[in-house]
Structure 1
Amino acid sequence: MNSKEQDPLSSSPSSRWWSKNTVAIVTGANKGIGFSLVRRFAELGLTVVLTARDSARGLTAVDALMAQGLHVHFFRLDVSDPSSIQSFVSWFKERFGAIDILVNNAAVSFNDQNENSVEHADTVINTNFYGPKLLTEALLPLFRISPSGGRILNISSRLGLLNKLENPKIKEILEDQERLSEKQIENMITLFLEDVRQGTWKSRGWPKIWTDYAVSKLALNAYSKLLAKRYESCGLSVNCFCPGFTRTSMTGGKGTHTADDAAEVGARLALLPLQELPTGKFYIARSTLVCSKL
């Protein structure tokens, strides 16, 4: 995905376009960046649905927000489980009817800072790529047609950028924006998982750091670009945001900034006024949390 020439954080919204009737969903939000995004949206007056795959942890997160005087809604959602997605969307449709903002934040990684294992590659791909894809497709009919436009923000990673890919054939396919298709993205995933099963993944030009996680984000970035192009004329914005090296459980508590810092940037990107709202872009937060051109 291309990055926007103008830093979206350099200008403030000229008017507050959202209200308590603006509905946002944040996945994987019982902790970390997801939790901080829910809190920030709630502080700004949106109606927010917090989801988590563990009900107890999700409800604990809701209680913590209530203790701060914030009201949010909760429903269990495991994005790696299609039946869980179906149950969630059915509940959401009955309860709210329409959505304005979707933040696909839920993701997993089984690597630490010094490890690169693909032992859980299937789980990583299902959670980080197919999960957001299936959830997004299930919610697309529910996006509200409004002057402010619908917004999808996929929390991604610079590990999934094309410059991390050394397989020239696959890189060429993903770079061809005119011909890129969902089938080609899924074929890439199938090829990667086959390389994992055959033990040939190290020599096939896949990303070298957190390989399975990087491939899942590579696919998510490509799908986001495809989706942005498909719905550009329908008032739906689709962008990716890399929060940078953030102190969360996924990084073992290491990082250059907090989850609250990253969420502040993510929320501002999701809430840009329509006249400044991009689509099909990839934003990355540096250590200073300023989105930069790649």
Structure 2
Amino acid sequence: MSKNLTIVVTGSNRGIGQGIIQLLAKTQHTSPLTIIATSRSGSDLGVQASPPNEVRYGKLDIGDQLSIKSFFSSIKDVDVLINNAGINNNNQETPDLAEQVIDVNYRGTRDMCQALLSSSPSRNARIVNVSSTACQLNDYSAPTASKFRSVKSIQDVDSLADQYIHAVKQGADAQKDAGFGSPPKSYQVSKALINALTVVLARENSDVVVGRPPKTLEEGARIPVRLAIGELGAGGDKDIGLGTESAERISGRYFGNEGVTDRGWGRVRKW
């Protein structure tokens, strides 16, 4: 039998994260799937896996670097990382809460990616950074949108995050003057930062496939699962495209559907 694929999913206790676990658990792949469902509580979701797949549970707070370090010290040979965990404080946004969103959604995702990449992942490992239709740069000023699309390093992305937080602390007018648009905006900016991070990681790690699906309202688990274990080339554009016969080199690209109610497996799109 083929070696098990070990897949770590963050934020698996609810919503799309739970949907990802459920879909992976019943997917018959060429290799058995060991699915590690993580959350801050480490709760057992009671998901029944179709043999030979198995689901395990673990505590992980991506906003805490010590928690990330402890997790990766206990888990070896991760083949796939699906970064789904995140928060949204737009409804009650204050400068502190906006910074909390950037810390968890962007910096936590960045730290998870770097922890995996520093752990000597298997060749052809995959990282899936769950994005959102909120990542679109249409409402940003042209110069600021260009900064997101032209990042060369993680330091460039960090700098954009710092610029945004600095502007938030100066007030709504400062945010608009800095090119980020009118608040509340922390969730949208965090997802744009994740997209920019994904571009950099794909460029710097040629042996790792790095993708970013949007978080849709219906069938939201499909695109993350396709990017995690499925075929990424033209054959994967069909709803049955979960094979691995050929994988076009599309690392770093943004996968999406036609709209939030589209139930498909996604295609490469502009963000």
Q: TM-score range by the shorter chain?
A: 0.7 to 0.9
The alignment status of 1:107 with 2:89, answered yes or no, reads: no
Q: Distance in 2 between matches of 1:267 and 1:209?
A: 32
Farther off after superposition, 43-52 or 220-229 = 43-52
TM-score (norm. length: structure 1): 0.75
Relative distance call for 1:274 and 1:184 in structure 2 (3 A) is: farther
Relative distance call for 1:98 and 1:68 in structure 2 (3 A) is: closer
The alignment status of 1:237 with 2:209, answered yes or no, reads: yes
Aligned match of 2:116: 139
Contact 1:118/1:212 (8 A) holds in 2: no
3-state SS, counterpart of residue 49 of structure 1: strand
Q: Distance in 1 between matches of 2:23 and 2:2?
A: 14
Deviation at 1:85, TM superposition (A): 0.6
Aligned match of 1:228: 202
Aligned match of 1:284: 256
Q: Distance in 2 between matches of 1:38 and 1:163?
A: 32
Q: Distance in 1 between matches of 2:176 and 2:87?
A: 21
TM-score (norm. length: structure 2): 0.81
Q: Distance in 2 between matches of 1:289 and 1:143?
A: 35
RMSD of aligned Cα (Å): 2.4
Relative distance call for 1:175 and 1:284 in structure 2 (3 A) is: same
3-state SS, counterpart of residue 38 of structure 2: strand
Percent of residue pairs identical: 27
Aligned match of 2:237: none
3-state SS, counterpart of residue 162 of structure 1: coil
Contact 2:175/2:183 (8 A) holds in 1: no
Per chain length, whose mean CA-contact separation is higher, i.e. which structure has more relative contact order (CA < 8 Å, sep 6+)? Answer: 1
Deviation at 1:66, TM superposition (A): 4.2
Q: Distance in 2 between matches of 1:288 and 1:264?
A: 11
Deviation at 1:209, TM superposition (A): 6.8
Query: Which of the numbers 148, 158, 161 marks the counterpart of 2:136?
Result: 161
Matched AA of 2:112: L
Relative distance call for 1:210 and 1:23 in structure 2 (3 A) is: farther
Farther off after superposition, 194-203 or 149-158 = 194-203
Q: Distance in 2 between matches of 1:99 and 1:29?
A: 17
Relative distance call for 1:230 and 1:220 in structure 2 (3 A) is: same
Higher relative helix content? 1
Q: Distance in 2 between matches of 1:30 and 1:202?
A: 35
